[in-house]
Amino acid sequence: MNDSALRELADDQSSRKRFFKMLGGAGAVGAASVLIAACGDDDKTGGGAAAGGAAAKTTGDNTSDLEIVNYALTLEFLEATFYQEVLDSGVVKDPKVGDLAKTLQEQEQEHVDALTATAKSLGGTPATKPKTKFQDVIAKGPKAILETAATVENLGAAAYLGQAGNIKSKDILAAALSIHSVEARHAAALNELVGRGFGGGGGLEGSLPDGAFAKPMDMAAVLKAVKPFLAS
């Protein structure tokens, strides 16, 4: 059997470079100009739409790409911060779990960096890192940590899916999709690791919580779900 072509397809060494290529080749300027041409409502929605601002709009269609990017950025901040605090806490002793947490932290941080750059490229102000409260979860130990991670990653995947149809710029969409499937990978592995099995009945538990066809979540539902982790 010769699957070398397949393997070549599946392997890629420069994902960050590719991400920015999606955003318009020479840099994010291309994406920005495409977006400005495509949707004139960006000026009105303003540059500083952080999660709070995005939360006010729950119907997708008139949500600007910048709002969506900042919404995603807020979720990525949440995930990156969680993994970072878990690593810093030293609570996780199992090296296999520790390695995974480190990998996930790095990837979420890359998402943070990329989305921050994307928000800027759209002429906006990137959402700022939200104040989080993961201390209670972390204090409960590795099992609670992994379960929370599994739930949050399922949430992240559902959140991206919920916005896919709302993104106006094809470049931003391509970029979002490249993150969406990574969140899904994280989610499946973590849910399996915590022993939740495939699931399939909906909700945020299980490696395949919606069965063969994943379901989206809108901003309001996602923000409600992450609220326990946000310090007011």
Partner 1 sequence: MAQSRPVAPELATIEVHGITREAFLLRATLAAGAAYGAMSATPYISRALAQDGNGDVDVLNYALTLEHLEADFYTMAVKQVRGLGGEEKKLAQKLRDDENAHVDALTATIKDLGGKPAAKPTFDFGGAFADRATFLKTANTLEDTGVSAYNGAAPQISSVEVLAAAGGIVQVEARHAGLIRLVRNRPPAPLAFDKASEMKAVLEAVKPFIKA
Report, in Å, the least distance between residue 107 CB and partner 1.
4
**Binders of partner 1 in range 69-108 (CB under 8 A):** 100, 103, 106-107
Phi, psi values for residue 92, rounded to 5°:
-80, 115
Nearest of 67, 72, 66 to residue 176 by alpha carbon: 72
- Identify which of residues 12 and 40 has a Cβ nearer to partner 1 in the complex: 12
Which of 129, 192, 218, 230 binds partner 1 (CB under 8 A)? It is 192
Told to check if 180 binds partner 1 by CB under 8 A, we report yes
**Binders of partner 1 in range 19-78 (CB under 8 A):** 19, 22
The DSSP symbol for 227 reads G
Identify the burial level of 202 via C-beta atoms within 10 angstroms of its C-beta, where 0-12 means exposed, 13-18 middle and 19 or more buried.
exposed
Report, in Å, the least distance between residue 90 CB and partner 1.
21
Distances (CA, A) of 133 to 53, 66, 86, 194, 228: 20, 26, 12, 22, 8
The DSSP symbol for 130 reads P
Radius of gyration of the chain (CA): 18
- Identify which of residues 70 and 166 has a Cβ nearer to partner 1 in the complex: 166
Structure tokens at 212: 């063969």
Determine the size of the site formed for partner 1 (CB under 8 A).
59
User: Is 27 in contact with 20 (CB distance < 8 Å)?
Assistant: yes
- Identify which of residues 17 and 44 has a Cβ nearer to partner 1 in the complex: 17
- Identify which of residues 69 and 188 has a Cβ nearer to partner 1 in the complex: 188
Which of 69, 91, 114, 194 binds partner 1 (CB under 8 A)? It is 114
Phi, psi values for residue 230, rounded to 5°:
-105, 130
**Binding span for partner 1 by CB under 8 A among 1-9, 48-56, 81-89, 119-127:** 1-9
SS3 content of the chain, % helix, strand, coil (to 5): 65, 0, 35
Report, in Å, the least distance between residue 177 CB and partner 1.
5
User: Is 110 in contact with 60 (CB distance < 8 Å)?
Assistant: no
**Binders of partner 1 in range 154-173 (CB under 8 A):** 157, 160-161, 164-166, 170-171, 173
Where does this chain bind partner 1 (CB under 8 A)? 1-3, 5-12, 15-16, 18-19, 22, 100, 103, 106-107, 110-111, 114, 157, 160-161, 164-166, 170-171, 173-175, 177-182, 184-190, 192-193, 198, 207-208, 210-216
